[in-house]
A = this chain, B = another copy of it.
Amino acid sequence: MDLKIRKAKKSDAEGIINLIVELAIFEKLVPPDRNAQSRLVKHAFSDKPMFEILIALDDKTPIGYAFYFFTYSTFLAKQTMFLEDIFVSDRYRSGGVGKKLFDELLKIAKSKKCGRLDFTCLNWNKRAMKFYDRLGAKAMKEWVYYRMTL
């Protein structure tokens, strides 16, 4: 494998969309429809991007990505890196790609003086949870995540 991780460019959009659909199927969630896909590309690659993307490539093939943005901890009074999605295509799992994406995320978070890197995980995704445990992430079991759909 000729693994490369870098910030995504607009020309990566199609490859990223294909991976998002693969992630949605894996997570048993509804993938973004055509309209949502084009909004997503617009929001990612505008002058004021709403989130940032790291892409993992094997030679020139997109095989994984991480979507992240910066939130804020009022108690630390520091930014938090929030990892919205991290995904590695099925046949590339267990090859260290996820770990390399995390290494790069941590590098960016530290350069921004973030106090935390936060993310969520589906409770049936035991493989991912083992991976996060190995990285030293802590499941915040005393916090319940709430959502109002607008």
- Chain A residues in contact with chain B, CB under 8 A? 20, 24, 29-32, 35-37, 39-40, 43, 50-51, 67, 69-79, 82, 84-85, 106, 109-110, 114-124, 129, 132, 135-150
Contacts and interface: CB of A to CB of B under 8 A. Distances in A.
Given A36-B77, A43-B77, A76-B32, A141 B142 contact: no
B67 A69 contact: no
B77 A82 contact: no
6 contacts: A36-B76, A36-B77, A71-B71, A106-B150, A137-B147, A143-B145
The quantity of this chain's copies bound in the complex is: 2
Given A74-B40, A78-B39, A147 B116 contact: yes
